Amino acid sequence: MNDSGLTHFDEQGQAIMVDVSGKTETHRTAVASGLINVSRPVFEAIRQGTAAKGDVLGVARIAGIMAAKNTSSVIPLCHPLPLSKCSIDFELLEAECAVKAIATVKVTGLTGVEMEALHAVSVALLTIYDMCKAIDKRMEISAVHLDKKSGGKSGEFIR
């Protein structure tokens, strides 16, 4: 680590992949969530399974899982990780006319899975947008954040 405390930069300020070789392998979990606010017609199409492109939440679930598995291909300095679990759950929020996506990612490894959980949620929400944009393009993705993480040197975090 350099003097600034920023682990993704060397002493000369060049971007680097963090050296995790000296870390201890631990069980690590991260949970992230986010929202997509939709119109009433989009909400009903999702709930009733009538969107023209098919099972919106089923496809978004697969997209989120695939995203978690491929995070290191998209986020330049992330380590490729052998994930032991990735699940994507959805809550239909009637009053808000929104869908909440929740990603849970686990690994036994040398580095955490926060980015994998955040990436999974983001892609799941983008997939909902893609599958429903023919109904209404005014959907809004928001509140993507880390809810909690455990394992590793920094221990437990709960938002």
Residue 142 lies in a domain: yes
Q: What pLDDT is recorded for position 3?
A: 42
Q: What pLDDT is recorded for position 8?
A: 66
Residue 140 lies in a domain: yes
As for how many domains the chain has, the answer is: 1
Give residue for tokens 């682990």. 7
CATH code of 83's domain? 3.30.70.640
Q: Which domain holds residue 121?
A: 31-149
Question: Is 126 within 8 Å of 119 (Cβ atoms)?
Answer: no
Average pLDDT, the chain: 92
Residue 88 lies in a domain: yes
Confidence class of residue 21 from pLDDT cuts 50, 70 and 90? confident
Residue 5 lies in a domain: no
Residue 136 lies in a domain: yes
Q: What pLDDT is recorded for position 153?
A: 83
Residue 73 lies in a domain: yes
Q: Is the model's pLDDT at 12 over the cut of 90?
A: no
Task: Please compute Rg for the chain using Cα positions.
Answer: 18
Q: What pLDDT is recorded for position 151?
A: 93
Residue 11 lies in a domain: no
Catalytic residue positions? Answer: 130
For residues 83 and 69, give the distance between their C-alpha atoms in angstroms, rounded to a whole number.
7
- What does pTM read for this prediction? 0.90
Q: Is the model's pLDDT at 6 over the cut of 70?
A: no
User: pLDDT tens digit string along 93-131?
Assistant: 999 999 999 999 999 999 999 999 999 999 999 999 999
Q: Is the model's pLDDT at 62 over the cut of 80?
A: yes
Average pLDDT of the residues in 42-65: 97
Q: Sign of the CA dihedral 37, 43, 47, 52? A: negative
Q: What pLDDT is recorded for position 61?
A: 98
Residue ranges of the binding site for substrate: 77-79, 115-116
Question: Is 122 within 8 Å of 130 (Cβ atoms)?
Answer: no
Residue 93 lies in a domain: yes
